[in-house]
Amino acid sequence: MFNLSQTFVWVASFAVVAAIINDLGIFAIFKHRKWAERVKPYLMCFAAGVLVSTPLMLALPNALSRNAYAGFFALVGFLFMYFSNSLIRHKTKQKPLAFGITAAEGIGIHSFVDGIVYAVTFSVSILSGLLAGIGLVIHEFAEGVITYLVLIKGNVSKKVAVWYAFLIASLTTPVGAFLAYPFVSKLNPVDLGAMMGFVSGVLLYVSAAHLLPEAREHEKEHSSLAFLGGVVLALFIVLTKLV
């Protein structure tokens, strides 16, 4: 039987791996900038394909089976991400240092929410956690790259930007997961369904309104194939029930 201790192992494992992949993105853009910028759009498109499929095929239907109002909570999750990102974009219309600090602050919040997503999805089922986790882990590389670049754009020195990016984008994900798990693990099925609905809205926003538009700005040949590859992987996992 899949128990809470096993759930925590999955949550902790994905949160730590996400931090490591984020660190690899930071290191890659620091040492191999041209290569990192070249692969970033493909990774973002692939991650978007997985993350847009997960709530539509699995997370939201699962949430609705537990809580009839899960769709409402999904809308709340989507709007939360929309308005928080709108506020961040509004604040970044300032001098370079303010731009870097404010944009990095938004990324930190986003990464912290990623950690909460791991805690919620794996608490619902290993399959929903695995699907959400795959998409989030893949997009961590691009997030590490973006965090470093916005700090550099904010006139932060390269070495300082590496350490700030680690603290802001990498470390916040496991912190969010470890802080959220004790609370999430005690929720009853109805409340867990509400949380899963909220997370579904967050995932839809991250994929459709964050990753894809960002990838489109730096679109490469075969980017669409990378997106479809993410969708196909999600379909394959769900339909064959590999876990």
Q: What is the pLDDT of residues 75-91, one digit of tens each?
A: 999 998 888 777 766 66
Contact residues for 126 (Cβ-Cβ < 8 A; gap 6+): 2, 10, 243
Contact residues for 219 (Cβ-Cβ < 8 A; gap 6+): 41
pLDDT of residue 2: 45
Count Cβ atoms within 10 A of the Cβ of residue 1 and give its class: 0-12 exposed, 13-18 middle, 19 or more buried.
exposed
- Residue 167 φ/ψ region, left for φ over 0, alpha for ψ in the -120 to 50 degree band, beta for the rest: alpha
Tell me if 102 sits within 8 A of 161, measured CB to CB: no
Q: Angle formed by the axes of helices 223-240 and 33-54, to 10°?
A: 40
Token pair 């029930």: residue: 241
Q: What percent of the chain has pLDDT over 90?
A: 27
Token pair 């974009």: residue: 89
Q: What percent of the chain has pLDDT over 70?
A: 88
Q: What is the pLDDT of residues 20-61, one digit of tens each?
A: 999 999 999 888 888 888 888 888 888 888 888 888 888 889
Three-state SS at 2: coil
Three-state SS at 131: helix
pLDDT of residue 118: 92
Q: Which amino acid is at 202?
A: V
pTM for the full model? 0.76
Q: Residue ranges of the domains in the chain?
A: 4-240
Contact residues for 72 (Cβ-Cβ < 8 A; gap 6+): 197
Q: What is the pLDDT of residues 78-124, one digit of tens each?
A: 998 888 777 766 665 655 555 566 667 767 877 888 899 999 999 88
